[in-house]
Amino acid sequence: MVSEKLETKLNELLNGELEAHHIYLQAAAWASAMKFEGAKNFLLVHAAEELTHMLKFFTFLDDLGAPIALKALPKPVIDATTIKALFVRVQEEERKVSQHIFEAIDLARAEHSYETDQFLQWFAAEQHEEEKLCRQILDKIELIGEGPNSQYFVDKELGALAKVD
Ligand code: OFO
């Protein structure tokens, strides 16, 4: 059993994962429209992962016998004009999600909800990996630079990353 405040926070995180799913999906649509096939596949893989994260929250709340409340999601807006700008946007979103996870861990600890704390540790580790991946992608984009065919090479790298995991 967890407090109502913690139930609300966990529901916010569940909805946050759904929102992340929407953002990755819209980003994949952006990549497709720009003819970045590799980036599209990479972003679709991540969109699917975000859904599995949402389901982890669903199951955790459900196992607690806590209410589950889905919210209307904001329309995802991808206004990037380059693949670099797109990944800067993705990185910002991931940082926001990490912040919310850490706030929830603080709350779980303050309420001595050890099961919630332990459950959320998986997400803290996952966010660490995702933020690392964003940084590595942005580093790679920087290394490839802006020479001829650079967009092609960036897309190829992202396509290769879509196959890992
Ligand atoms: Fe759900 O993993 Fe990032 O956002």
Residues in the chain: 165
Q: Residue of the nearest CA to atom 1 in ligand 1?
A: 50
The best mutation among 96, 120, 127, 134 to test binding of ligand 1, ranked by most ligand atoms within 8 Å of the C-beta, falls on 127
pLDDT tens for each residue of 81-105: 999 999 999 999 999 999 999 999 9
Q: Where are the alpha helices (DSSP H) in 34-145?
A: 37-64, 83-110, 114-144
Which domains, from first to last, does the chain contain? 4-164 (1.20.1260.10)
Return the pLDDT at 130. 96
**Is the distance from CB of 2 to CB of 113 less than 8 angstroms?**
yes
Ligand 1 touching residue 131 (CB < 6 A): no
pLDDT tens for each residue of 117-152: 999 999 999 999 999 999 999 999 999 998 889 999
* Predicted-complex ipTM score: 0.95
Amino acid at 68: I
Query: Which two tokens mark 92?
Result: 């910002």
What's the CA gap between 50 and 17, in Å, rounded?
A: 6
pLDDT tens for each residue of 32-59: 999 999 999 999 999 999 999 999 999 9
Closest to 138 (Cα-Cα) out of 74, 77, 85: 85
The CA 93 to ligand 1 mean position distance, Å, reads: 9
The CA 160 to ligand 1 mean position distance, Å, reads: 20
**Is the distance from CB of 127 to CB of 98 less than 8 angstroms?**
yes
The best mutation among 14, 52, 130, 132 to test binding of ligand 1, ranked by most ligand atoms within 8 Å of the C-beta, falls on 130
